């Protein structure tokens, strides 16, 4: 079983994904980390030096690598399902799970981590919420193509991981 975690920047894909992989006893794969290791450069440096299109091509390769693993929990970058046929490929390769979160909650979680994320690094705190709201609205149709959607406002990371595990257990039974 491969589980692909999708959703906007800051929604908890990497931290929850790592915990989930540990609980399930399967490898954890993070597409951003795989890209950084392959290039020997940070996501910010790749965007700055090679541009977003080059990053998206690398992201697509990283997803293909993840889809080739026997079992894995895969944390994807926030834009991953919205480019090319990435969403279709993830849906064909395993269970896609969307961590759905409001722009307000995302903004509150991204104020501190924004410098590592080239799409929002230059936004002032005042601009951040408006940018997220607009960008999320554009991306929502892609995210909504996930097989499982979890409403993540006001719930703990532990609850979210449990929700995925319960879903998998029912899925096996059914």
Residues binding ligand S3P (CB under 6 A): 9, 13-14, 32, 43, 77-79, 117-119
Nearer Cβ to ligand S3P, position 134 or 171?
134
- Separation between Cα atoms, residue 118 and residue 82, nearest integer Å: 17
Specify the residue, 32 or 101, whose C-beta has the smaller distance to ligand S3P.
32
Say how far apart CA 80 and CA 142 lie, in whole Å.
9
CB of 78 to ligand S3P, least distance (A): 3
Which among 108, 154, 100 has a CA at the least distance from the CA of 129? Answer: 108
CB 90 within 8 A of CB 63: yes
Closest CB to ligand S3P among residues 77, 103: 77
Q: DSSP 3-state assignment of 112? A: coil
The distance of closest approach from Cβ of residue 151 to ligand S3P in the complex, given in angstroms and rounded to an integer, is 18
Q: How far is the CB of 152 from ligand S3P (least distance, A)?
A: 14
Q: How far is the CB of 91 from ligand S3P (least distance, A)?
A: 19
Q: Which residue is nearest to ligand S3P (CB)?
A: 77
Euclidean distance between CA atoms 108 and 145, whole angstroms: 25
């Amino acid at each position: 079983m491969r589980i692909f975690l999708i959703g906007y920047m800051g929604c908890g894909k990497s931290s929850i994904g790592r915990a989930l992989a540990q609980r399930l006893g399967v490898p954890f794969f993070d597409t951003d980390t795989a890209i950084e290791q392959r290039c020997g450069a940070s996501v910010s440096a790749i965007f700055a030096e090679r541009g977003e299109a080059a990053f998206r091509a690398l992201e697509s390769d990283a997803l293909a690598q993840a889809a080739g693993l026997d079992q894995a929990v895969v944390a994807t970058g926030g834009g991953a399902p919205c480019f090319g046929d990435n969403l279709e490929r993830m849906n064909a390769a395993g269970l896609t799970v969307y961590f759905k979160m409001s722009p307000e909650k995302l903004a509150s979680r991204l104020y501190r981590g924004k410098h590592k994320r080239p799409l929002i690094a230059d936004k002032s705190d005042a601009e951040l919420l408006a940018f997220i709201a607009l960008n999320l609205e554009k991306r929502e149709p892609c995210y909504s193509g996930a097989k499982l959607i979890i409403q993540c406002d006001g719930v703990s990371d532990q609850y979210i991981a449990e929700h995925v595990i319960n879903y998998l257990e029912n899925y096996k039974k059914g």
